[in-house]
Amino acid sequence: MPKLYTVRQLKKFRDNLVKQLEQAKDGYKSSLTFSKTTLDDNTILQEGDKFQLMIIGGSNYKSALGDLRQGQLSVKESQQCKLPKFHKDSDLGKFFVKALKDDIDVVAINYAYPIESFRRGDILDGKLIRGTKGNLFSGLVGKNVGAYLEDYTLKKTNRKIKVSLANDVVCLLLSSSLSLEGVRIGVVVGTGFNTGFWLNSKTIVNIESGNFDDFVMSESGKYVDENSSNCGKQKWEKEVSGAYLVKHYNYFARQNKLNRINKSRKLSEIANEEKGLPGEISRLLFMRSASLVAVTVAAISKFQSGEGELVIEGGVFWKGIILLGTLLIIGKN
C-alpha cells in the first residue's frame, strides 16, 4: 500500500525546498531554477495582425484565433485535441506547422516545458532546458524554441511569422489578480508539475519545482524513476503528476494482482467510485501527491515571507477528489 509522508518529513522537505530556492536565486548549484520572465508594456502585435494562441501542454493541445482591430483584441474559434509524443525537434515542428492556421502573423505559445526565458529582440522566447513528461525533444534542448519554430515554418511553408512563448506557470500567473499585495503563487499539476511566483510587479519566477530532488522518494516512486526515460531527473514530479501517478498505481496493482490502468482519468474514477483495495490505493496516491504540492506552496510562501494568492490549474488538480482538501490541511501545518 502507498505510505503517506509524516508531517515531520514534509516539513523537512519544505525546508530543503527553501534552501534550494535560495541557492538557485544566488546562482549556486540547485535542482531548482530561478528563471525570471520580465514583462513590459510593449506588444509585437501591429494593427490588423491576426494571431493564434496555442497551449502545448503535457497531454493536451488547445488553440484559439484572434486579431487586433482598432486597438481592440478579439479572440474566437477555439479548439483542442490530444498531443502526440515529441521524441525529437522535428516532431514539434511538424505538429506546429500542421496546427498553424492560414493568414496568421503572430503565434503566442503557452509551453509546458522547462525553458529559460529571454528576449529575442522584441519577442519573448525561451531556451529549452530539458524534456519532461515523457517528451525528449532530442535536438531541441539548449535551443530557442520560438526561433526554431519560426525557422522550421519558413523552411517548410515559406511563411514568415513571429513566435513568442512562455512557460505554462508564467501564463497561469498572468491570469492572477493585479493586486500587488502578498505572495502570488502559481501551481500547474497535471501531466507534469511546476510552480512559480511573482517576484515583483513586473517579474515572474519559474522554479521548475518538478525537478526538486532533496527528499526521500517513496517505494513506488523509486521504481517509477528507475524505469523512466529520464532516470534521476524530475523526481518530485514523479511523485506528484498525473503522468506518473498511474505508474504508481500499477506498481501496487501488480503486487496485489489488480487490473492495471493507463490513464489518470481512470485513476480518478477508481478513487471516486470504488471502496475496496483499488479505491484505497488511488486515494492514498492522490493524498500523497497533494501533500507534496502543499509542501511546495509552503516553501515558496516561506521563501517570500508571507501569505497571499494561490492560482492552481491542471488535470490532476481537477480530477483528484481530495487534492484541494489535503492542500488546505497540510498547508496549515
State the Cα–Cα distance between residues 6 and 59, nearest whole angstrom.
32
What's the pLDDT at 9? Answer: 96
pLDDT digits (tens, 9 = 90+) for 99-137: 999 999 999 999 999 999 999 999 999 999 999 888 999
What's the pLDDT at 322? Answer: 46
Q: Quick check: helix, strand or coil at residue 89?
A: helix
> Model confidence at 31, in pLDDT bands (50, 70, 90)?
very high
Given a contact cutoff of 8 angstroms between Cβ atoms, the answer to whether 146 and 180 are in contact is: no
Phi, psi of 239 (to 5 degrees): -95, -10
> Model confidence at 320, in pLDDT bands (50, 70, 90)?
low
Q: Exposed, middle or buried, 287 (CB in 10 Å: 0-12/13-18/19+)? A: buried
pLDDT digits (tens, 9 = 90+) for 135-178: 999 999 999 999 999 999 999 999 999 999 999 999 999 987 65
pTM for the full predicted model: 0.88
> Model confidence at 33, in pLDDT bands (50, 70, 90)?
very high
Given a contact cutoff of 8 angstroms between Cβ atoms, the answer to whether 138 and 20 are in contact is: no
Distances, alpha carbon 17 to alpha carbons 11, 103, 291, in Å: 10, 46, 14
Q: Quick check: helix, strand or coil at residue 71?
A: coil
Map grid coordinates 515572474 to a residue.
Answer: 204
What's the pLDDT at 138? Answer: 95
What's the pLDDT at 178? Answer: 59
| Mean pLDDT value of segment 290-314 | 88
Q: Which three cell numbers stand for residue 331?
A: 498547508
pLDDT at residue 18 tops 60: yes
What's the pLDDT at 330? Answer: 47
What's the pLDDT at 133? Answer: 82
Domains and CATH numbers, the chain: 7-35+173-332 (3.40.367.20), 38-167 (3.30.420.40)
Indicate the pairing of strand 203-206 with strand 35-38: antiparallel
Helical spans, DSSP H, in the chain:
7-25, 89-99, 145-157, 168-173, 219-226, 235-240, 242-255, 264-273, 277-304, 315-319, 323-332
pLDDT digits (tens, 9 = 90+) for 217-243: 999 999 999 999 899 999 999 999 988
| Mean pLDDT value of segment 6-25 | 96
In 3D space, the residue among 180, 190, 236, 241 whose CA is nearest the CA of residue 210 turns out to be: 236
> Model confidence at 318, in pLDDT bands (50, 70, 90)?
low
- Look over the chain and give the mean of its residue pLDDT values, rounded to a whole number: 90
